[in-house]
């Protein structure tokens, strides 16, 4: 069984929310989805300066939740991460990240 360490996770989204978003109604993928949640949040933290300050803004948090869901869906659906179909999708994700990185959230 995969053991996941979650001490630094802010819990922007829950496993249940991710399962509802992905329409997964079984528990077989829970460990993998939890790992995706941790890594999606880590990706945002590593990509965005002052993440811990900005996440206090509801507007920023809503964007973070949406972008995390999109990242998690991409990890879940495309485990090889090499498909060309997602090029447009990845561009949208990058635009969201740029907004979140450079906008002020007071």
What tens-digit pLDDT sequence spans the chain (106 residues)?
Answer: 555 544 455 789 999 999 999 999 999 999 999 999 998 898 888 888 899 999 999 999 999 999 999 989 988 987 764 556 656 556 667 777 787 788 777 6
Residue 67 neighbours by CB distance under 10 Å = 22
How far is Cα 93 from Cα 88, in angstroms, rounded to an integer?
A: 9
Predicted local confidence at residue 37, as pLDDT: 94
Q: How far apart are CA 9 and CA 68, in angstroms?
A: 13
pLDDT value, residue 42? 86
Are residues 100 and 63 in contact, defined by beta-carbon separation less than 8 angstroms? yes
| Domain residue extents for the chain | 15-102
**Residue 7 confidence (pLDDT):** 40
Q: CA 13, 68, 17: angle at the middle one, nearest 5? A: 35
What whole-number distance in Å separates Cα of residue 23 and Cα of residue 18?
8
Q: Contact, 50 vs 73, CB < 8 A? A: no
């Amino acid at each position: 069984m995969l053991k996941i360490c979650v001490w630094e996770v802010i819990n922007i989204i829950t496993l249940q929310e991710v399962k509802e978003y992905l329409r997964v109604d079984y528990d077989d993928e829970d460990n993998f989805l939890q790992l995706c949640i941790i890594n999606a949040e880590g990706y945002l933290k590593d990509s965005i300066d002052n993440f811990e300050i900005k996440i206090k803004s509801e507007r920023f948090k809503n964007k973070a939740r949406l972008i995390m869901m999109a990242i998690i869906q991409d990890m879940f659906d495309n485990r090889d991460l090499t498909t060309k179909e997602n090029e447009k999708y990845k561009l949208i994700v990058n635009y969201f990240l740029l907004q979140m990185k450079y906008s002020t959230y007071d």
